[in-house]
A = this chain, B = another copy of it.
């Protein structure tokens, strides 16, 4: 963003200033994810591995707490448009997860108790876990077969060090973009054009 320089540092209550901050932080987080993916360590190639896991699932179950859960619901809707069978954990018609399914989840800290418990249940049931987190060394990451690590503050971290935004804001914004990138790649791999996905959009409301 080239706008940053022209903003006085004390104009903290300006929405324009805030929007530049948000966009700059998202840009940096995405760049770090891309650098890790292109590198030669454990995180290399994780983006495609993550998408492969989702693509190979019998059914995809998404689960996140609070705003992470809302971000994953955005992804869930797109995966349904793609023709996958998708369920949101906590909705009334969501069945039991089973062998062959994938739990797609996100937790900034990787320690959210309900999410970690669900991941353990999923693994015990023979399902596989795909997780987005800030913490590569967390109980959630340990349970997951595919992990995307986002260099952002988790929700409990209110120090302002990793991000000037409140709580897990940057993490949750990045989950939205990662989910849409996974969808976009799977869509392109499918060879379908936009008009082929459209008839799957809900028609009753």
Contacts and interface: CB of A to CB of B under 8 A. Distances in A.
A40 B17 CA distance: 18
Contact of A15 (B51, B194, B204): B51
Residue from the set A2, A26, A76, A181 with the largest chain B CB neighbour count within 10 Å: A181
A78 interface: yes
B92 A66 contact: yes
B71 A67 contact: no
B22 A23 contact: no
A86 interface: yes
A122 interface: yes
A103 interface: yes
Interface string A85-107: 01111111111110000010000
Counting chain A residues whose Cβ lies within 8 A of the other chain, the interface size class is 35 or more
B21 A27 contact: no
A31 B189 CA distance: 30
A158 B66 contact: no
A50 to B, nearest CB: 7
Interface string A175-205: 0111011111111110000110111111111
Interface string A48-73: 10110000000001010111001101
Nearest to A81: B166
A23 to B, nearest CB: 4
B201 A96 contact: yes
Nearest to A17: B185
Nearest to A164: B184
Interface of A: 1-3, 12-23, 26-27, 30-31, 33-34, 37-38, 47-48, 50-51, 61, 63, 65-67, 70-71, 73-74, 76-78, 80-81, 86-97, 103, 114, 118, 121-122, 125, 158, 160, 165-167, 169, 172-173, 176-178, 180-189, 194-195, 197-205
Return the 7 tightest CB-CB contacts between A and B, nearest first: A158-B194, A15-B47, A19-B181, A18-B184, A13-B189, A12-B188, A18-B181
